[in-house]
């Protein structure tokens, strides 16, 4: 699951961007949540209220940022403050003013699109952004266990299990236990992890089959699929299968 934020002060443009992004993400087989804000101040409040101001990549993955916004802060200044270089958040600028094409290079961004936005250009920008998001998420996770900090390579994690207030990282060579919430870890993991149950995140590469009620791993181990997540799991597995065939 990826979270995309759209910052645009004109309601008609926000609605248009939501529709275009949904179509593009469907074409790219990406499962997304889209949130909209009418100015930089509203976005800043939302980030602060989410307690993710120190880790913006936990708040969202991709931002479509208009530049001239109602309010005291324009889009470029907002990116400098909210999504500084190295944050991991992929920024796509969208504006009707070509004069900003140089100014945007004061910030880290993936693309600069002019209004009216061409669908193919938006899809290509999102494809690039998703690639960089996955690269960012594939970096080792730094997990605190007591006073120690343990680095975990995501591709070595078979599944993550929440049990009795503990989070268990079941890796190929060991199990690591720590006091974290599954909801905190999910946005940090690559797109090949599927949330099949409120207590489980599974690496799709270890799945051998789905029975409809369980995911069966390549070693015979099983984890349950909750009733409300059946369709999501089915769609994610189908999308993974399609992408594997294309590659």
Q: Where are the alpha helices (DSSP H) in the chain?
A: 11-27, 40-49, 75-82, 119-137, 182-185, 230-246
Structure tokens at 14: 């926000």
112 forms bridges with which residues in the sheet?
93
pLDDT one-digit tens code per residue, 32-89: 999 999 999 999 999 998 875 557 888 999 999 999 999 889 999 999 999 998 888 9
- Position 207 pLDDT exceeds 90: yes
- Segment 193-209 shows an average pLDDT of 95
Using a pLDDT cut of 70, give the percent of the chain over it. Answer: 96
Does the pLDDT of residue 24 top 80, yes or no? yes
Q: What angle, rounded to 10 degrees, do the helices at 75-82 and 40-49 form? A: 20
Over the stretch 225-242, which tens digit does the pLDDT of each residue have? 999 999 989 888 887 776
CB 59 within 8 A of CB 49: no
pTM, two decimals, is 0.70
H helix or E strand, kind and range, residue 139 = none
> How large is the average pLDDT for residues 27-32?
88
Q: What is the pLDDT of residue 11?
A: 96
Q: Confidence band (pLDDT; 50, 70, 90) for 244?
A: low
Whether residue 116 has a cis bond before it, omega within 30° of 0: yes
Mean pLDDT of 89-116: 94
Mean pLDDT for the chain overall: 91
At 246 the pLDDT is 54
Q: Looking at the chain, how many residues does it have? A: 247
**Cα–Cα separations (whole angstroms), residue 134 to 2, 57, 58, 122, 228:** 10, 12, 13, 18, 26
Q: Give the Cβ contact number of residue 227 at 10 Å.
A: 9
Q: How far apart are CA 196 and CA 199, in angstroms?
A: 8
Mean pLDDT of 101-111: 93
* DSSP symbols for 65-129: EESS-SSSS-HHHHHHHHS-TTS--EEEEEES-GGGGTGGGGS--SEEEESSPPHHHHHHHHHHH
Determine contact, residues 225/233, Cβ cutoff 8 Å.
yes
**DSSP letter (8 states) at residue 205:** G
Per-residue confidence (pLDDT) for residue 58, from 0 to 100:
82
């Amino acid at each position: 699951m990826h979270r995309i934020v759209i910052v645009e002060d004109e309601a008609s443009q926000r609605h248009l961007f939501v529709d275009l992004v949904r179509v593009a993400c469907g074409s790219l087989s990406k499962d997304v949540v889209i949130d909209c804000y009418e100015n930089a101040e509203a976005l800043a409040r939302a980030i602060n209220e989410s307690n993710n101001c120190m880790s913006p990549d936990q708040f969202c993955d991709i931002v479509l940022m208009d530049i001239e916004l109602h309010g005291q802060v324009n889009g470029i200044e907002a990116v400098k403050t909210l999504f500084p270089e190295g944050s991991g958040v992929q920024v796509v600028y969208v504006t009707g003013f070509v004069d900003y094409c140089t100014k945007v290079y004061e910030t880290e961004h993936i693309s600069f699109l002019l209004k009216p936005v061409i669908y193919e250009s938006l899809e290509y920008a999102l494809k690039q952004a998703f690639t960089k998001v996955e690269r960012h998420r594939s970096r080792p996770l730094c997990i605190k266990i007591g006073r120690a900090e343990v680095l975990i390579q995501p591709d070595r994690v078979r599944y993550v299990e929440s049990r009795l207030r503990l989070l268990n990282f079941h890796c190929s060579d060991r199990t690591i236990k720590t006091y974290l919430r599954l909801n905190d870890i999910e946005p940090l993991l690559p797109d090949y992890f599927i949330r099949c149950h409120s207590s489980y995140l599974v690496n799709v590469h270890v799945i051998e089959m789905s029975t409809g009620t369980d995911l069966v791993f390549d070693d015979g181990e099983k984890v349950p699929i909750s009733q409300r997540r059946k369709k999501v799991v089915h769609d994610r597995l189908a999308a993974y299968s399609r992408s594997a065939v294309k590659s």
